[in-house]
Amino acid sequence: MYAVHHRSATVDGHELFYREAGPADAPTIVLLHGYPTSSFMFRELIPLLAGDYHVLAPDHLGFGLSDAPPVTEFTYTFDALADLTSALLDRLGVDRYALYVQDYGAPIGWRLALRHPERITAVVSQNGNAYEEGFVESFWADVWAYGENPGPETEPAVRAALTREAIRWQYLHGVPDPSLVSPDTWEHDHALVSREGNDEIQLALFRDYRTNRPLYPPLQEFLRTHEVPVLAVWGRNDEIFGPAGAQAFARDAKDAEVHLVDGGHFLLESHLDVVAGHLRAFLGRVLR
């Protein structure tokens, strides 16, 4: 078992928490988490990678153990979160890396790739969307409505996503054996989302989510032009980002592996060994 370090750095006046493991001179993989969690979602994956790779997993501002300034002091957008992530990587001297993205981590990672395509050695998407066909409309309809017309008529539907039951659903839907998923996951996430003022942070990002869709065509062009190897390892039963979103990567990535696993949105909680096996084989092939 390899040691995992728990660190923080001050970036643009904000303290960002991150987990780090593995040799500093090994190829780097940056793990970017989704909503409503944090680098906590990678707690068991990181040691499985640290023998061969330098692994970094930050908490986005407003999530996990990073600072969470109120919306009156910081404008929460995906552009702003990508700015902070980029600045953190610069501070740590990381200028070449593979991306592992899930959920919110995807649009943050896509911004990093489009700003500095020369830095990206590989892309791993675990239920991290990059195609219109990946959206499950029954889930996203309320988010689109809120983004287009935020107000008292549209807010209650998205605010419901902050509840313990909704977060629990994110972890359990599509999992054939829900007993494999520890309740620690949704209890941990719900406690952090429930901090005073954090609801407004999450609502701001819900409103901003529609800015991510215009990134998809240039991201797909990046995959075609730079021929970056892509691994899409995806919970086939995800009712947020459907499996068509995984399969679509094969259209644009010259070197694409797609694996659909019998799980849901947070695949690491029920199929850690399966994901880690695909990931290690892929990284071993494309980075060494």
Q: Which residues are catalytic?
A: 265
The C-alpha atoms of residue 99 and residue 105 are separated, in whole angstroms, by 9
Q: Are 206 and 158 in contact (CB under 8 A)?
A: yes
- CA-nearest of 252, 260, 256 to 233 is 260
Burial class (CB in 10 A: 0-12, 13-18, 19+), 68: buried
Backbone angles phi, psi at 235, to 5 degrees: -75, 110
For strands 54-58 and 28-32, give the pairing.
parallel
20 Cβ contact partners less than 8 Å away, ≥ 6 residues apart? 4, 5, 7, 54, 55, 56, 57
User: Got the DSSP string for 193-209?
Assistant: HTSTTHHHHHHHHHHHG
Helix (H, G, I), strand (E, B) or coil at 121: strand
Helix (H, G, I), strand (E, B) or coil at 52: coil
Helix (H, G, I), strand (E, B) or coil at 230: strand
